[in-house]
């Protein structure tokens, strides 16, 4: 059943696509609203409720020039701010420590035969999401359009695991990251399997602060593999935990948004949404 929140996001996503394709022309509120087939007043109100800023301001956040400026200002000290991930003022994000505890090769090789996985479906500002956890932490999180297909993809990763559709405290803690009151975040743990290289890349992604951006080349340099930009891109593309491991914060060095497993429009929406939270 489609909820109003999902309908609103779909409208916002359509508007973001239009803005991305036409931002050089700086389309007016009326033009954008007409493109998504709602009144300018309703569109403005819905957009502000979703992003916290006006469509015009949001347009600045997702433009190529904004991305270039952000990279220019922050890239040099991006990874020095690992312990400063947060918002100032009453909405300050603090005490968010994400630890990766890798699965043993045996756990993954045998298809999760001895794993007990809880999973649930939830809504986020960017569409529906499936989240799964073991007793050690979050093992899977992904945006989806079709619930059955989303569960099938999870089961493909761990075909022999024992599944239970239930919301547990590990999932609840993880989903707090979408809340506006960031201060309620508890410690979030991830239970993942990956090669040492993948885990190193994923850990580096965790150091990009909220509202910050990096590039594939910058991450390759940070892990002392300056010529491994392509391999870094592959590791980022295999990230099994959307949003919590912020692969959406990695863009092309030109400032272009680049690809994203869950769609470039959703990636633009997340980047703009996070920038709005920082700047508001």
What's the chain's length in residues?
Answer: 280
Q: How far is CA 273 from CA 81, 110, 131, 147, 260, in A?
A: 20, 39, 21, 25, 16
Q: Cα separation of 140 and 190, whole Å?
A: 9
Pick from 111, 109, 114, 106: which is nearest to 158 by CA? 111
Which residues neighbour 133 within 8 Å (Cβ) at sequence distance 6 or greater?
117, 118, 119, 139, 168, 170, 171, 174, 191
> Is 139 one of the annotated active-site residues of the chain?
no
Identify each DSSP E strand in the chain by its residue range. 98-100, 116-124, 127-133, 138-143, 162-165, 188-190, 214-215, 250-251
Mark 59-82 as b/e (b = at least 16 C-beta within 10 Å): bbbbbbebbbebbeebbeebbeee
In this structure, the strands spanning 116-124 and 127-133 are antiparallel
> Annotated catalytic residue: which of 16, 130, 177, 247?
247
Q: Cα separation of 75 and 215, whole Å?
A: 8
Q: How far is CA 30 from CA 20, 153, 273, in A?
A: 16, 40, 21
- Active-site residue list: 247
């Amino acid at each position: 059943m489609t909820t109003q929140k999902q309908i609103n996001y779909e409208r916002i996503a359509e508007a973001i696509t239009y803005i991305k394709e036409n931002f050089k022309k700086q389309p007016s509120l009326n033009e954008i609203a007409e493109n998504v087939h709602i009144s300018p007043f309703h569109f403005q109100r819905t957009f502000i409720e979703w992003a916290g800023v006006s469509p015009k301001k949001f347009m600045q956040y997702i433009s190529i020039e904004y991305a270039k400026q952000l990279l220019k200002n922050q890239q040099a000290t991006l990874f020095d701010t690992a312990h400063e991930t947060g918002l100032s003022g009453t909405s300050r994000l603090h005490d968010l420590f994400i630890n990766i505890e890798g699965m043993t090769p045996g756990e993954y090789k045998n298809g999760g035969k001895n794993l007990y996985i809880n999973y649930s479906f939830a809504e986020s500002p960017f569409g529906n999401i499936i989240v799964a956890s073991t007793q050690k932490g979050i093992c899977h999180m992904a945006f989806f359009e079709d619930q059955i297909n989303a569960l099938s993809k999870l089961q493909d990763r761990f075909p022999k695991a024992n599944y239970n559709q239930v919301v547990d405290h590990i999932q609840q803690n993880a989903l707090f990251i979408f809340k506006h009151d960031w201060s309620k975040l508890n410690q979030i743990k991830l239970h993942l399997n990956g090669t040492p290289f993948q885990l190193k890349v994923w850990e580096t992604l965790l150091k990009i602060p909220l509202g910050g951006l990096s590039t594939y080349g910058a991450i390759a340099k940070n892990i002392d593999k300056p010529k491994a930009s392509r391999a870094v891109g592959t590791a980022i593309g295999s990230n099994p935990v959307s949003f919590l491991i912020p692969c959406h914060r990695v863009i092309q060095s030109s400032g272009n948004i680049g690809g994203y497993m869950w769609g470039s429009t959703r990636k633009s929406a997340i980047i703009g949404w996070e920038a709005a939270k920082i700047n508001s």
